[in-house]
Amino acid sequence: GSFSNDTMNVVKEIQRINEKESGSKTSWHDKYKHSAYIFIGGLNYGMTEGDIITVFSQYGEVVDINLAREKSTGKSKGFCFLAYEDQRSTVLAVDNFNGIKLCDRTIRVDHCDDYRHIDSDEEEEKKKKRKEEEGRRRRY
Protein backbone atom coordinates (compact mmCIF):
# COMPACT_ATOMS: atom_id res chain seq x y z
CA GLY A 1 0.00 0.00 0.00
CA SER A 2 1.01 3.62 -0.23
CA PHE A 3 1.04 3.94 3.54
CA SER A 4 4.59 3.98 4.84
CA ASN A 5 5.51 2.93 8.35
CA ASP A 6 6.02 6.56 9.23
CA THR A 7 2.47 7.37 8.26
CA MET A 8 1.13 4.51 10.34
CA ASN A 9 3.17 5.69 13.30
CA VAL A 10 1.79 9.19 12.91
CA VAL A 11 -1.74 7.80 12.78
CA LYS A 12 -1.08 5.79 15.95
CA GLU A 13 0.44 8.87 17.55
CA ILE A 14 -2.64 10.93 16.67
CA GLN A 15 -4.90 8.26 18.14
CA ARG A 16 -2.78 8.24 21.27
CA ILE A 17 -3.05 12.01 21.55
CA ASN A 18 -6.81 11.80 21.08
CA GLU A 19 -7.17 9.28 23.88
CA LYS A 20 -4.89 11.32 26.08
CA GLU A 21 -6.62 14.60 25.21
CA SER A 22 -10.17 13.33 25.60
CA GLY A 23 -9.34 12.19 29.12
CA SER A 24 -7.63 15.41 30.09
CA LYS A 25 -8.93 18.75 31.14
CA THR A 26 -8.74 21.14 28.25
CA SER A 27 -5.18 21.33 27.04
CA TRP A 28 -3.76 24.52 25.61
CA HIS A 29 -4.02 22.91 22.19
CA ASP A 30 -7.82 22.94 22.49
CA LYS A 31 -7.92 26.67 22.04
CA TYR A 32 -6.71 26.08 18.50
CA LYS A 33 -9.03 23.20 17.62
CA HIS A 34 -10.75 25.21 14.90
CA SER A 35 -7.52 26.17 13.20
CA ALA A 36 -5.44 23.77 11.16
CA TYR A 37 -2.86 26.49 10.53
CA ILE A 38 0.52 26.78 12.16
CA PHE A 39 3.02 29.60 12.08
CA ILE A 40 6.61 28.71 11.20
CA GLY A 41 9.29 31.31 11.81
CA GLY A 42 13.08 31.55 11.71
CA LEU A 43 13.29 29.67 8.43
CA ASN A 44 16.41 29.60 6.33
CA TYR A 45 15.86 32.14 3.55
CA GLY A 46 16.90 29.58 0.95
CA MET A 47 14.01 27.28 1.75
CA THR A 48 11.15 27.10 -0.73
CA GLU A 49 7.52 26.16 -0.15
CA GLY A 50 8.40 22.70 -1.45
CA ASP A 51 11.21 22.28 1.09
CA ILE A 52 9.00 23.32 3.97
CA ILE A 53 6.18 21.00 2.88
CA THR A 54 8.66 18.12 2.59
CA VAL A 55 9.71 18.59 6.21
CA PHE A 56 6.29 19.28 7.68
CA SER A 57 4.39 16.61 5.76
CA GLN A 58 5.96 14.09 8.14
CA TYR A 59 3.05 14.82 10.46
CA GLY A 60 0.18 14.98 8.03
CA GLU A 61 -1.06 16.14 4.69
CA VAL A 62 -0.24 19.78 4.01
CA VAL A 63 -3.12 21.51 2.23
CA ASP A 64 -1.96 25.11 2.18
CA ILE A 65 1.23 27.06 2.61
CA ASN A 66 1.80 30.77 2.48
CA LEU A 67 5.48 31.68 2.59
CA ALA A 68 5.93 35.39 3.20
CA ARG A 69 7.99 36.93 0.43
CA GLU A 70 9.23 40.42 -0.30
CA LYS A 71 6.82 41.88 -2.84
CA SER A 72 9.55 43.51 -4.92
CA THR A 73 12.19 40.77 -4.96
CA GLY A 74 10.22 37.61 -4.19
CA LYS A 75 12.80 36.75 -1.53
CA SER A 76 11.59 34.72 1.44
CA LYS A 77 11.05 36.64 4.66
CA GLY A 78 11.80 33.51 6.66
CA PHE A 79 8.33 32.76 7.97
CA CYS A 80 5.20 31.12 6.68
CA PHE A 81 1.76 29.85 7.54
CA LEU A 82 1.02 26.23 6.85
CA ALA A 83 -2.25 24.33 7.00
CA TYR A 84 -2.77 20.64 7.59
CA GLU A 85 -5.75 18.68 6.40
CA ASP A 86 -6.19 17.33 9.92
CA GLN A 87 -6.01 19.79 12.79
CA ARG A 88 -4.40 17.14 15.01
CA SER A 89 -1.34 17.23 12.78
CA THR A 90 -0.72 20.77 14.01
CA VAL A 91 -0.35 19.42 17.54
CA LEU A 92 2.35 16.99 16.41
CA ALA A 93 4.12 19.63 14.34
CA VAL A 94 4.17 22.19 17.16
CA ASP A 95 5.33 19.60 19.71
CA ASN A 96 8.01 18.09 17.50
CA PHE A 97 9.32 20.93 15.35
CA ASN A 98 9.32 23.97 17.64
CA GLY A 99 12.93 24.80 18.52
CA ILE A 100 14.59 22.28 16.20
CA LYS A 101 17.48 23.22 13.95
CA LEU A 102 16.56 23.26 10.28
CA CYS A 103 19.23 24.24 7.74
CA ASP A 104 21.34 25.80 10.50
CA ARG A 105 18.51 27.96 11.84
CA THR A 106 16.47 27.34 14.96
CA ILE A 107 12.86 27.45 13.89
CA ARG A 108 9.79 28.48 15.85
CA VAL A 109 6.56 26.61 15.27
CA ASP A 110 3.35 27.71 16.89
CA HIS A 111 -0.41 27.41 16.61
CA CYS A 112 -2.18 30.13 14.69
CA ASP A 113 -5.26 31.41 16.36
CA ASP A 114 -7.06 32.85 13.40
CA TYR A 115 -5.02 32.84 10.25
CA ARG A 116 -7.08 33.92 7.28
CA HIS A 117 -5.93 33.59 3.72
CA ILE A 118 -6.31 36.99 2.14
CA ASP A 119 -7.56 36.20 -1.31
CA SER A 120 -9.19 39.45 -2.28
CA ASP A 121 -6.97 41.85 -4.14
CA GLU A 122 -8.84 44.64 -2.46
CA GLU A 123 -7.38 43.67 0.91
CA GLU A 124 -3.93 43.38 -0.66
CA GLU A 125 -4.30 46.83 -2.20
CA LYS A 126 -5.41 48.37 1.08
CA LYS A 127 -2.46 46.78 2.81
CA LYS A 128 -0.05 48.00 0.16
CA LYS A 129 -1.35 51.56 0.46
CA ARG A 130 -1.03 51.43 4.22
CA LYS A 131 2.49 50.05 3.90
CA GLU A 132 3.50 52.76 1.45
CA GLU A 133 2.16 55.45 3.76
CA GLU A 134 4.00 53.92 6.69
CA GLY A 135 7.10 53.70 4.53
CA ARG A 136 6.88 57.37 3.68
CA ARG A 137 6.51 58.28 7.33
CA ARG A 138 9.36 56.01 8.28
CA ARG A 139 12.02 57.34 5.91
CA TYR A 140 14.93 58.63 7.90
**pTM greater than the 0.85 cutoff:** no
Alpha-carbon dihedral angle through residues 140, 41, 34, 51, given to the nearest 10 degrees: 130
Q: What is the pLDDT of residue 28?
A: 60
Q: What is the pLDDT of residue 96?
A: 97
Q: What is the pLDDT of residue 113?
A: 74
pLDDT in tens, the chain (140 residues): 445 566 667 666 666 666 655 554 556 666 656 668 999 999 999 999 999 999 999 999 999 999 999 999 999 999 999 999 999 999 999 999 999 999 999 999 999 876 765 444 455 566 677 777 777 776 65
Which regions of the chain does DSSP assign to beta strands (E)?
Answer: 37-41, 62-69, 76-84, 101-102, 105-106, 108-111
